[in-house]
């Protein structure tokens, strides 16, 4: 062992609290075996290659590990010191500076796109990533690495406390739930959905639940008109897949119903995506656009899809062709860049863009 003596400043900077505690966690024996505090302290000194480490620091670190669920403490009759063994949580926190920066970016991006509460639950991991970066270069990394968007982001809707956690647990336990829901187009009436949670989708500052509703129980005697289509992001009727927004869930309770998963369910399938997103075609359509020079620059660097082809059309215009699914996202992109795009085909998409622009211009016709 190469023993070194570190003063307080050097020790603090070479071994951060989380890194030291993780090294101590690795010295714990597996469940069923025990090691004393003193022996763990000596093993930690060897692992860290230091010969001066306060025993009280190790005692505090062991107490922290026990509180976080990484260690179990035992009192042995006739022994002065406590004994310890590993507990259930076995994750090892080891990050390179590059991976720490990647993780920092993921957390920052998640916060910006509506997952602030979820990021808070990972505070210790985020702090550890920050410490790894600061050890490599001691600067304020929040000023050097960030996440941004050119678009205006809506604030995330408020989800009632405990709703997300109950749904996550049901996904782990493969259990059905009784969900009290407030559909968008039901005149304010509530409905109890007896459903099987299948997947969670985080999108556009909100969280959506893809699920299979087996039966419904409406409150106050209300019944939806069977001759009218159901509203968006609500039940499509018994024994149908649907997508629910978590902020419209009023309550979640246990359910004794046994609801099996649909065969070969996949949240990325068309059957699930059509409720999570508005789709106007199940298969890709042959899209043909004329785009201005400034949009050509952007799409040549950030393609609309992998199969796009752009060819010059003259006079600072370009022809773009590709096969892409007609979706709400595509239509929003076309309208957002309407002054730089002419939709040539398909005809129904061209008509949609034309009608939307005509309706928008009509709002300003008197000015």
Residue 216 bridge partners (DSSP): 193
User: What pLDDT, on a 0 to 100 scale, did the predictor assign at position 359?
Assistant: 96
Backbone angles phi, psi at 289, to 5 degrees: -130, 150
Classify 220 in phi/psi space as left (phi over 0), alpha (psi -120 to 50) or beta. Answer: left
What are the residues whose beta carbons fall under 8 Å from the beta carbon of 7, sequence distance 6 or more? none
CA–CA separation, 64 vs 24, rounded Å? 11
User: What pLDDT, on a 0 to 100 scale, did the predictor assign at position 91?
Assistant: 57
Which secondary-structure segment (H or E) carries 87? none
CA–CA separation, 340 vs 348, rounded Å? 19
CA–CA separation, 39 vs 57, rounded Å? 14
Name the residue among 222, 223, 199 with its Cα closest to residue 211.
199
Classify 114 in phi/psi space as left (phi over 0), alpha (psi -120 to 50) or beta. Answer: left
CA–CA separation, 181 vs 230, rounded Å? 14
User: What pLDDT, on a 0 to 100 scale, did the predictor assign at position 317?
Assistant: 95
Instruction: Please provide the size of the chain in residues.
Output: 367
Determine the angle formed by the axes of helices 37-48 and 17-27, rounding to 10 degrees. Answer: 120
pTM of the entire predicted model: 0.71
User: What pLDDT, on a 0 to 100 scale, did the predictor assign at position 15?
Assistant: 54
Which tens digit of pLDDT belongs to each residue from 135-184?
888 888 888 988 888 888 888 889 999 999 999 999 999 999 999 999 98
Q: Which residue ranges in the chain fall short of pLDDT 70?
A: 1-16, 88-94
């Amino acid at each position: 062992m190469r023993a070194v003596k570190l003063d307080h400043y050097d020790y603090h900077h070479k071994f951060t609290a989380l890194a030291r505690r993780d090294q101590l966690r690795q010295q714990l024996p597996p469940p069923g075996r025990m090691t004393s505090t003193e022996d763990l302290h000596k093993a930690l000194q060897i692992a860290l290659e230091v010969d001066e480490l306060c025993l009280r620091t190790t005692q505090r670190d062991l107490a922290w590990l026990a509180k976080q669920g990484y260690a179990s403490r035992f009192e042995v009759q006739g022994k002065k010191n406590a004994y310890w063994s590993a507990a259930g949580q076995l994750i090892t926190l080891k990050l390179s500076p590059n991976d720490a920066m990647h993780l920092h970016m993921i957390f920052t991006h998640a916060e910006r796109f509506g997952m602030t509460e979820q990021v808070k639950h990972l505070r210790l991991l985020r702090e550890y990533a920050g410490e790894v970066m600061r050890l490599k270069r001691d600067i304020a990394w929040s000023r050097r690495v960030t996440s941004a968007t050119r678009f205006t982001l809506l604030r995330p809707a408020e989800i009632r406390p405990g709703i997300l956690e109950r749904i996550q647990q049901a996904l782990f336990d493969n259990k059905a739930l009784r969900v009290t829901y407030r559909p968008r187009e039901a005149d304010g009436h509530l409905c109890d959905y007896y459903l099987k949670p299948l997947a969670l989708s985080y999108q556009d500052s909100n969280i959506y639940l893809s699920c299979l509703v087996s039966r419904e129980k409406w409150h106050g005697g209300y019944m939806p008109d069977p001759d009218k289509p159901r509203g968006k992001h609500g039940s499509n009727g018994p024994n149908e897949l649907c997508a629910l927004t978590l902020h419209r869930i009023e309550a979640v309770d246990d359910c004794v119903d046994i609801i099996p998963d649909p065969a070969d369910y996949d949240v990325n399938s068309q059957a699930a995506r059509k409720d999570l997103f508005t789709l106007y075609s199940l298969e890709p359509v042959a899209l043909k656009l004329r785009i201005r020079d400034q949009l050509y620059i952007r799409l040549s660097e950030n393609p609309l899809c992998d199969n796009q082809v752009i060819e010059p059309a003259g006079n600072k215009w370009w022809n773009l062709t590709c096969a892409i699914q007609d979706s709400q996202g595509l239509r929003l992109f076309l309208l957002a860049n309407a002054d730089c795009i002419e939709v040539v085909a398909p005809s129904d998409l061209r008509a949609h863009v034309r009608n939307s622009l005509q309706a928008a211009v009509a709002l300003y016709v008197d000015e």
